Structure 1
Amino acid sequence: GIAAAPSAHAAVEPDIDSTAEWGARPPNGTNPVIWGSPDKLIVHHTVSANTEDFSREQAHAHAHWVQDLHMDGNGWRDSGYNFVVSRGGWITEGCTGSLPALLDGDRFVQGIHTAGQNTQGIGISNEGSYHEGAEPPAAQWEALVTLCAYACEQYAIPSSEIYGHMDFGSTLCPGIFHERLPRLRDEVERARDL
């Protein structure tokens, strides 16, 4: 096809550590690739400890924790989320193949994050537990906004199509992030118009 000219309103490409960079296990089998674009982003939290370790090493350790929980605990083929944002603002690729798909913008990997939505939505989770009134650190929030803005731009998703896990099922996930969805949508819209 013919490459589109770069938009004058380009969202910033976030720094995302690939599964190779953080040393993920290979998936059990093949992660399904869906050609075309997802129609929404779905925000989650991982319900891990609200660590004060904001290092990249902690982000990688947490990515391993999520993958082990999902593969060994839940019996899933891979980490269920497409991307995970650490409390320190580091972003890791979750489900293997999600990062190159995002960068190309012509496909996405079917995650395992929201019943009934995995073939339509990208799952973005946040390190920590946010259903007891905890606030996400500023670095985490900023990285979430940057990642969502970039994903919305790559896939031509309106910022109005950013949801929380609880919009699609009986869950407390994503805690305070759900109450902040209007702010997230507004900040994503602004990030796309810079």
Structure 2
Amino acid sequence: MTAPGNIQRARVSRRALLGATAGGVLLGGALLPQAAQAAPAPRCYTRTEWSARPPTSATQVIGKPDHIVIHHTASANVTDYSLAAAYKVQHWIQDLHMDTNGWIDIGNQLTISRGGFLMEGRSKSLSAINNGQNVLGAQTANNNSHTIGIEHEGLYTSVNPTVALFDMSVLTCAWLCTKYNLDPHAAIVGHRDYVSTTVCPGDVFYSRLPELRNRVADVMLG
């Protein structure tokens, strides 16, 4: 597990690198022109499409994040990989967050199902991302003002995520890193990196974060 101090040092290091490379970004030591980072937006199913409940109060649009936080839902590892199943888990998450946790809406900005479907989470998340902004979520305690969270359906303490889920996570993180001009090696972290009392996103998924970062960098390199 990365200590909070290490996250801060990574953040400072990344900012220093990006600040020193106008017109490009450093990925693994390679300076790339902006055009080389054009990772396309994956298909994202909107709140209208999955029939989200409206938030109970206004969603706050904030500035761009400096970290992408990887979560797992710790729910059953279902074998129904359909879009209908993706919508079902999204409703379950929203109901849990609003009715049990008492939050204004679903806490995370994005969700990926075990079938590899990407869905909009908190209200206004998709429009904010497309405009280089973020919405204030409720997905990483004490760090919501500068992070964006991706929920991954399933429990990954002892098993691997599905190929479809992991592949979509790669594409989603590459899109976000492009939108926010982030270095994936510094920006992509696990929930446990910020909250020491959680095992999220599970030991197996967490052990694959270096692979996730490398694959995201590969996508951004084209």
Instruction: Return the TM-score normalized by structure 1.
Output: 0.93
Tell me the equivalent position of 2:130. Answer: 103
Tell me the equivalent position of 2:94. Answer: 67
Aligned counterparts of 2:48 and 2:69: Cα–Cα separation in 1 = 24
Tell me the equivalent position of 1:38. Answer: 65
Question: Displaced runs of 4+ in structure 1, greater than 4 A?
Answer: none
Aligned counterparts of 1:104 and 1:186: Cα–Cα separation in 2 = 26
Tell me the equivalent position of 2:200. Answer: 173
Q: CA deviation at 1:8?
A: 3.8
One-letter amino acid of the counterpart of residue 117, structure 2 = W
Task: Report if the CA contact (8 A) 2:68-2:147 is conserved.
Answer: yes
Instruction: Return the TM-score normalized by structure 2.
Output: 0.82
Q: CA deviation at 1:90?
A: 0.1
Aligned counterparts of 1:84 and 1:8: Cα–Cα separation in 2 = 27
1:14 to 2:39 alignment: no
Correspondence for 2:74 among 47, 67, 76: 47
Tell me the equivalent position of 1:121. Answer: 147
Tell me the equivalent position of 1:3. Answer: none
Aligned counterparts of 2:148 and 2:97: Cα–Cα separation in 1 = 17
Correspondence for 1:149 among 144, 155, 174: 174
Which blocks of at least 5 consecutive residues in structure 2 are unaligned?
Answer: 1-33
Give the SS at the match of 1:84.
strand
> Percent identical across equivalent pairs?
43
Q: CA deviation at 1:48?
A: 1.1
Give the SS at the match of 1:102.
helix
Q: CA deviation at 1:9?
A: 3.5
One-letter amino acid of the counterpart of residue 179, structure 2 = Q
Aligned counterparts of 1:52 and 1:77: Cα–Cα separation in 2 = 30
Give the SS at the match of 1:130.
coil
Tell me the equivalent position of 2:15. Answer: none
Tell me the equivalent position of 1:88. Answer: 115
Task: Report if the CA contact (8 A) 2:47-2:120 is conserved.
Answer: yes
Tell me the equivalent position of 1:163. Answer: 189
Aligned counterparts of 2:193 and 2:77: Cα–Cα separation in 1 = 24
Give the SS at the match of 1:21.
coil
Q: CA deviation at 1:181?
A: 0.9
Aligned counterparts of 2:189 and 2:41: Cα–Cα separation in 1 = 21
Larger Rg, first or second structure (1 or 2)? 2
What per-residue deviation string (whole Å, max 9, x for no partner) do you get for residues 65-104 of structure 1? 0000000010011101100000000011110110111122
Task: Report if the CA contact (8 A) 2:37-2:178 is conserved.
Answer: no
Q: CA RMSD in A?
A: 1.3
Aligned counterparts of 1:113 and 1:80: Cα–Cα separation in 2 = 5
